[in-house]
Amino acid sequence: MADVPIDIAYISRLARISLTGEESSRFSAQFARLFDFIRELQALDVSGVHATAQVIPLSNVMREDELKPCLTQDEALANAPAREGPFFKAPRILE
Amino acid sequence: MSAALETVIGLEVHVELSTKSKMFCGCLNEFGADPNTHVCPVCLGMPGTLPVINKRAVEFLCKAGFALECTVAPFSKFDRKNYFYPDMPKNYQISQYDMPLTTGGRVVLPSGKAIRLNRIHLEEDTGKNVHAGGHMTTSEATLIDYNRAGVPLMEIVSEPEIGSPDEAEQYLMVLRDVMLYIGVSDVKMHEGSLRCDANVSIRPLGTKELGTKTEIKNMNSFKSVVAALEHEISRQHACVASGERIVQETRGWDEVRGLTYSMRSKEQAHDYRYFPDPDLPPLSLDEATLASWRSELPELPAQRRERFITQYGIPQYDANVLTQSRFDADYFEAVASASGDPKQASNWLMGDVRKSLEAHGLTLSTSKMTPAALGELISMVKGGAITGRAAKEVCDVLVAAGGDPKAIVEQRGLAQVSDESAIVAIVDKVIAAQAESVAAYKGGKAKALDFIVGQVMRESRGRANVDVVKRLLMERLG
């Protein structure tokens, strides 16, 4: 298995996903294969190719600055896991 | 503080654009509404919704870019900035990472020093967190209002070329003035439509390499920017003096305690995992569109200031003050034209009008006085219809309640009196009443005459022709 230039524990913390030891090593192996693939891509000569962020050949899709109806406060909060008065309520921010 | 160290400041300024609707949806962009009433499935990040770029926001950013001599990129895209923080319901903020809408540009300070810009990019504002039960580190829960989430926001990033807190304030003032002139934002720091973070470091004077920087947040007014920067610079000087290492970190400004505090420790440093937003095709604006936006730009404050000095012959200081807002500058030009006397127009606006505005808690835009009325008042003084002193009273009435200066003069009986027989009576009365001053004057105290003239003017309620008053007094007092 090639070196994995990525810290699984760090990535899972950023993604807020807790992994078991078994999952960590399984994902490490999968990441390693991904990195192998990326190494292959990096070996290709792409000097004539534009960086592609979009595969659909569209650009400048814009709308006029016009108002559309909003949801009501109760509609907006209907799916909230928790609300307090007019606000969405979430656990406090810092761990 | 050691004299051998210099300060290096870079500012990241966020400016909310005053479009009607939000950046990627049609929700009303308005400050101060009831919480969570200006929201829709798009800005609440509900599954299956698609953002669409607000053309006006792109136009506003390009106009700001033109005004600051930036280059609009031929190709630009939007990226997702990923993080877990409830101020964005999507768990990411749509921003621009490596291909911002404009690059380069500069902000020229009143001193003439130019601060280069790195970039201006377009993004969406976040929602507002309210920390239940006090401070964010101690409260039980976070309450969120998403009305602000998705409001178009431009981030103006300077190069680290600002040399002092004072220069930082000037930089912000120039930016604010420009944004107001071109009408892309109301730039109110207290309402959060202008916000600013600062990167601060110090280094040995004359060296090129940047020192370790700290990022300062939570500065809510121009004054707090200056105070926070001053505090942080002296904190860094103290670190250096005591041999302590300056840690790269984010520090918050505590307005009440007047100090900066460490906000995030190293292990909490963010990794935003930017990637191109697959929902938003890139921007590639054509020359014709850009040219038409550029042609709509008004004269900018710096250009107007120079023109006021050369065209109207008013002092630099007056030109600076009069051009601070587009409304005031337009007002001055209207008064100059109505009175035919730009210098007097400037003197009145800088002097008595300003005093009256302050006394009544008004501004030129909230006062009922029209430029035509002030212009006429100036003409009346020049034509001898009223004295300068009576004009001050008329000016105050105009500022407070508006109206026609001629009618006010008539109503209050303020017309200038040049008729000698009317003035003689007052002069004699004052001479009789002010025997002490008269004696002092006769005894060689020249200044006493000014006092006596003042008393006559007061007695005449400012209406007496002062030249006639002086002549009559001289005749009588020898």
**Residue B240 banded pLDDT, cuts 50, 70, 90:** very high
Name the minimum distance, in Å, from the CA of A41 to any CA of chain B.
Answer: 18
Q: What is the pLDDT of residue B132?
A: 62
Long-range contacts of B184-187 (CB under 8 A, 24+ apart): B184/B15, B184/B17, B184/B18, B184/B60, B184/B61, B184/B63, B184/B64, B185/B15, B185/B16, B185/B17, B185/B18, B185/B60, B186/B18, B187/B15
Answer yes or no: do B461 and B374 share one domain.
no
> φ and ψ at B204, to 5 degrees?
-55, 135
Secondary structure (DSSP) of B423-438: HHHHHHHHHHHTHHHH
**Residue B389 banded pLDDT, cuts 50, 70, 90:** confident
Answer yes or no: do B93 and B199 share one domain.
yes
Answer yes or no: do B16 and B164 share one domain.
yes
The Cα diameter of chain B in Å comes to 96
Answer yes or no: do B303 and B285 share one domain.
no
Answer yes or no: do B276 and B334 share one domain.
no
Helix (H, G, I), strand (E, B) or coil at B26: coil
Please state whether B411 falls in left (phi above 0), alpha (psi between -120 and 50) or beta: alpha
Q: What percent of chain B has pLDDT over 70?
A: 96
Q: Which of A60, A73, A95 to mutate to test the interface with B (most CBs of B within 10 A)?
A: A60
Cα separation of the two ends of chain B: 65
How many structural domains are present in chain B? 3
Q: What is the pLDDT of residue B415?
A: 85
Closest Cβ–Cβ partner in B36, B53, B136 for A93: B136
Decide if B153 contacts B23 (C-beta within 8 A): yes
Answer yes or no: do B234 and B356 share one domain.
no
Decide if B177 contacts B325 (C-beta within 8 A): yes
Contact A62 B85 (CB under 8 A): no
Q: Of A72 and B421, which is predicted with more confidence?
A: A72
Which tokens go with B396?
A: 């105050």
Sign of the torsion formed by the C-alpha atoms of B55, B61, B65 and B67: positive
Answer yes or no: do B281 and B168 share one domain.
yes
Chain B stretch 90-129, residues whose beta carbon is closer than 8 A to a beta carbon of chain A? 129
Chain B stretch 45-84, residues whose beta carbon is closer than 8 A to a beta carbon of chain A? 46, 52-58, 77, 84
pLDDT in tens, B27-75: 999 999 999 999 999 999 999 999 999 999 999 999 999 999 999 999 9
Q: What is the pLDDT of residue A1?
A: 44
pLDDT in tens, B125-164: 999 988 766 555 566 788 999 999 999 999 999 999 999 9
Q: B284 — contact with chain A (CB < 8 Å)?
A: yes
Query: E-strand spans in A1-86?
Result: 62-63, 83-84
Which residues of chain A does B44 touch, with a Cβ-Cβ cutoff of 8 Å?
71, 76
Q: Where are the domains of chain A?
A: 8-42
Q: Which of B90, B142, B266 to mutate to test the interface with A (most CBs of A within 10 A)?
A: B142
Answer yes or no: do B48 and B154 share one domain.
yes
According to DSSP, the β-strands at B214-219 and B141-145 are unpaired
**H or E element, residue B241:** helix B222-241
Q: Of B268 and B335, which is predicted with more confidence?
A: B335
Which tokens go with B388?
A: 């300068």
Q: A51 — contact with chain B (CB < 8 Å)?
A: no
pLDDT in tens, B351-384: 999 999 999 999 999 999 999 999 999 999 998 8
**Residue A3 banded pLDDT, cuts 50, 70, 90:** low
β-strand partners of B5: B204
Separation of alpha carbons B188 and B9, rounded Å: 22
CATH of the domain at B466: 1.10.10.410
Separation of alpha carbons B56 and A63, rounded Å: 9
Name the minimum distance, in Å, from the CA of B287 to any CA of chain A.
Answer: 13
- Tokens 């000095």 label which residue? B309
Q: What is the pLDDT of residue B137?
A: 57
Q: Which of B40, B130, B143 to mutate to test the interface with A (most CBs of A within 10 A)?
A: B143
- Amino acid letter for position A37: F
**H or E element, residue A6:** none
Q: Domain end: B412, B434, B456, which one?
A: B412
Closest Cβ–Cβ partner in A65, A71, A79 for B54: A65
Q: What is the pLDDT of residue A9?
A: 87
Answer yes or no: do B303 and B247 share one domain.
no
Helix (H, G, I), strand (E, B) or coil at B8: strand
Which residues of chain B does A68 touch, with a Cβ-Cβ cutoff of 8 Å?
21, 25-27, 40
**Contact residues for B239 (Cβ-Cβ < 8 A; gap 6+):** B245, B246
Q: What is the pLDDT of residue B138?
A: 60
Contact B143 A87 (CB under 8 A): yes
Contact B35 A73 (CB under 8 A): yes
Domain range for B450 is: 420-477
